Amino acid sequence: MGYDPKKRGRPSYLPLLCFEGETQDCWEGSYHPGNTHVSTIMIPLLDRAFAKLPKPIREVRVRADSAFYDHNIVEFIEGKRAFYATVARLT
């Protein structure tokens, strides 16, 4: 059972998908209960997606919404020498 403010008590789910930007090919995906926090499952998902990249690829860009704004996720992406754009509220 996850958080669903509009339909309280109903099951909710967290699907995560990694797509290639130009061809829209799905590189990696996973499906989780709605009460799972993104930061606990995102690094393994990104690791599997990065492992599938062909060796000649020199530049990778990751786009994500504010749920992915986590220090560990940002460090992982920077460790892979990839670029990223994440929406985050400045407070």
Quick: pLDDT tens for 3-28: 666 777 777 788 888 888 888 888 88
* φ, ψ of residue 51 in degrees (nearest 5): -65, -25
> Does residue 91 carry a pLDDT above 60?
yes
Quote the CA–CA distance of 59 and 70 in Å, as a whole number.
22
Which runs of E-coded beta strand occur in 8-89?
Answer: 13-19, 26-33, 61-64, 83-86
Which runs of E-coded beta strand occur in the chain?
Answer: 13-19, 26-33, 61-64, 83-86
Quick: pLDDT tens for 41-79: 999 999 999 998 888 888 899 998 888 888 999 999 999
